[in-house]
Amino acid sequence: MKRPNPFLYIPLAGLLKVFAIIKGQRFKNHCKIQGPAIVLSNHTSFYDFIYTTAALYPRRVTYLAASKMFYESQTKFFLKLARAVPKSLMQADPVASLKAFRILKKNGIVSVFPEGQISPSGKTLKPAFSIAKFLKKAAVNVYVVKHEGAGLVNPPWNKKTYAGLIETSYHHLCTPEELQNLSLDAIYDKVYDALYFEPSAYLNNPHHIYKDQSLEGLEHVIYECPTCLKEGLVSKDHQLVCPSCGLTLTYHSGLLEQKGVDLWFKEQETRLRKIIDQTENYTISSPVELQSFRKGKLITVGHGELTLDHEKYIYQGTVDGLNQELRFHVKDIPTLPSDIGRNIQIYQNDQIYQFEMKNPFLPTKFVHVAEYLHEKSLFDVR
């Protein structure tokens, strides 16, 4: 396992830093980071790899990146060029960990996004507990490079860029000695607290101004009318509109009706949780197109129906031309990665089961349901 080639990395990463600064990235609370070290960052935009590279420049950094990204045409070339390490999401990956430790033994810097996916609302997601085990075993200095405003400049629900500020701060989190003495629970809490970010709180600062643009795609995240509870809001320029009751929500400088998207997202989730509690044997289902890895590619392998209930996910349909039924236990899936407006993903035994849905807000609704049913499964005796 080799660190990034300095003759390619230094000039290309330098260009990325110039690009990031032009986009609005600024740096504060600098601290000296030298290898061996692990750098943790929050994940709110598709550009976070660029912003982290810019923040660490000219130091070379090796990324742990979702293995799925190595199969996507937009990202695989750059990840291989950067000698990134593929990591299976939402499950232990000893091969990826071993490669990361080899980089650290060469005094390298390893970058990790512990959330494992981009937050749809901008609010920090709960990382997998495995990050605490990884840090304790690595036993090197741990730093946090935190980006505030990245998800407002480059929101995850569309590919547009909104003019505004991206503030990147640096923080030394743990020494090797501290990692040795802390419990896994204490390490996990330190990581989550250090990465925690709430757009609604951040935007209370009147100096954080973001240019308004089209909201196309936000209706796949905030899909339910808070007044009449109609599902299927419609985006029109700077507004979300309910086609049933006509309610109009206007977006301005990162806020929807003067309230952060993360708060709207949480309220929507809370309403759905109440429905689940009040509905015996609650289920949610959708026609899906199943995609998985085959011969180095992520391709369509079947079509069918995906249903989620209190205990399990059931896929009934075709796989490689044969009728099959796939089952996944709710207890085993604490979070449900999703490409907003497109799919949900289940990772198991180094394989991805990616369920594409035609209804663009259903992936978000599945995520709401799945995470709550997992929480309930830890306490319910059924």
Residue 273 inside a domain? The answer is no
Same domain, 223 and 197: no
pLDDT, averaged across the chain: 92
**316 neighbors 305 (Cβ within 8 angstroms):** yes
CATH number at 193 reads: 3.40.1130.10
- In which band, very low, low, confident or very high, does the pLDDT at 73 lie, cut at 50, 70 and 90? low
Same domain, 331 and 361: yes
Helix (H) or strand (E) holding 103: helix 94-105
Q: For residue 302, which of 349, 261, 354, 370 has the smallest C-alpha distance? A: 354
pTM for the model stands at 0.91
Higher local confidence (pLDDT), 179 or 31? 179
Residue 155 inside a domain? The answer is yes
pLDDT tens digits for range 183-200: 999 999 999 999 999 999
Residue 167 inside a domain? The answer is yes
Q: Do the strands 338-339 and 322-329 form a parallel or antiparallel pair, or are they unpaired?
A: unpaired
Same domain, 242 and 326: no
Same domain, 319 and 357: yes
Residue 275 inside a domain? The answer is no
- Find the domain containing 257 and state its range: 218-266
Cβ-count burial 301-312 (b if 16+ within 10 Å, e if not):
bbebebebebeb
pLDDT tens digits for range 83-142: 888 887 766 778 889 999 999 999 999 999 999 899 999 999 999 899 999 999 999 999
CA-based radius of gyration for the chain: 21
Same domain, 175 and 45: yes
Tell which of 177, 202, 227 closes a domain.
Answer: 202
Same domain, 253 and 344: no
How far apart (Å, rounded) are the C-alpha atoms in residues 182 and 185? Answer: 8
Residue 274 inside a domain? The answer is no
Same domain, 176 and 54: yes
Number of domains in the chain: 3
Residue 159 inside a domain? The answer is yes
Same domain, 124 and 262: no
